[in-house]
Amino acid sequence: MSNGTMSRTQPAADPTESGGGATILIADKFDASGIETLEGLGHRVESHPDLTPETLPAAIAEHDPDILVVRSTKVRADAVEAAGRLALVVRAGAGTDNIDVVAASGRGISVSNCPGKNSLAVAELAWGLILGCDRRIPDQVADLRAGVWNKKSYAKASGLAGRTLGIVGLGRIGQAIADRGNAFGMRVFAWNLGITDAKAEAAGCHACENLINLARMCDVISVNVAANDETRHLISPEFLAAMKPGAILVNTSRGSVVDQTALAAAIEEKGIRAGLDVFADEPGSGTGEFQDSIVKLPGVYGTHHVGASTDQAQAAIATEAVRVIRVHLETGDTPNCINIASGTGAATLTIRHFNRPGVLATICDVLSRGGINVEDMENVIYVGGEAACARIRVSEPPTDDLAEALRGGEHVISVDVSAN
């Protein structure tokens, strides 16, 4: 089968006859190799790449999937509310900003992603945009198609060798862009939270601890950070005001990271050139009407949020998504899960006990009667299977009386309490 995508419903045998395969709804284009693998594992795959945020809730209600896989389609609260058995949403890509993580968390639904599998594809597009801005390639193509020959105008270009490249966000994508900048003979500077000279040197860059200073010194700036509350409008009016006149800004991260109103003003007032793969208000699915005034400005070259859209990247992402699904179904663990709270619990109970049925149930019952909630629990069995150790994070430390009640439980060896 080809390395493309498919749209089909694959009937599966009755779960009671097949050993209990899961129902997996794929709401976007997904590499055919991933679908074949999931079907080969005995799962029922519902592949519907044309779903939209508006039609997704009905599809979830109809198919009642155990797992939902999305790429660009937005998973809103109404989609989460339509779920029955849904236990996992997998984003076939890195970011999860198209998923209502708060709504999913409220229903006990895990949200996972596939980080690092599209880094080279995004870096390649970023460099396409950089070169397009420097040499005005899209404008040249448009003129040629219109029957216009204008070598006199297009012969003017700054060139890249010996100029300064700024990397905002030195993760996998930022590193790949920096590597290519070095290959072009550019001087590469990088800003990242917690960056040090040693980390930057290992990445082939010079460290820049101040974001505004990076804007002042660089001829080309590539933005490669995750979208969250801390990075919203990270590329601010102050940053854009500090940029050199005529400098190039490329954004292949998320539209929310750049203050797009301020960018439009900088383009008009300072001649900033922009290569944008992402926008502040994109359609919620793979196709749709798009009206954004910034793409009509001179010196702005845009693509359709396709940084990760190469055959190589999509095959790698499909392989990782299948791994996440397989581990989740076979072990109960969820790789790359982004909505598990960390550091929860006011205290940790370490309870050594004999490995007997009902011991943990009794412990949880004692805590419940004491008004204490179990927030996380791990139970490990020692070699031989005779004894075990439970580590339980709880909402508040138990009283002395409650701790003694735990110690007095049948088959309990010891109870230690430590504050978190």
Active site residues: 254, 282, 305
DSSP string for 320-343:
HHHHHHHHHHHHS--TTBS----S
Q: Can you tell me whether residue 371 is helix, strand or coil?
A: coil
Q: Assign 374 to helix, strand or coil.
A: strand
> Which residues contact residue 375 at a Cβ distance below 8 angstroms, ignoring those fewer than 6 apart?
341, 344, 345, 393, 394, 395
Q: How many CB atoms lie within 10 A of CB 301?
A: 21
**Tokens (6 digits) for 13:** 């045998």
Residue closest to 76 by CA, chosen among 51, 54, 59, 49: 54
Angle between helices 311-331 and 32-40 (to 10 degrees): 20
Q: Where are the alpha helices (DSSP H) in 47-160?
A: 56-63, 77-81, 101-106, 119-135, 137-145, 151-154
* CA separation for the pair 346, 412 (Å, rounded): 22
Dihedral sign, Cα of residue 279, residue 280, residue 285, residue 289? negative
Integer Cα distance of 45 and 9 in angstroms = 7
H/E stretch holding 191 reads: strand 187-191
Give CA–CA dist 180/299, Å, rounded.
Answer: 23
Number of residues written out for the chain: 420
* CA triple 92-93-95, angle to 5 deg: 125
Cα–Cα dist 126/220, whole Å:
11
Strand partners, 166: 189, 221
Q: Within 184-310, where are the H helices?
A: 197-202, 211-217, 237-242, 260-270
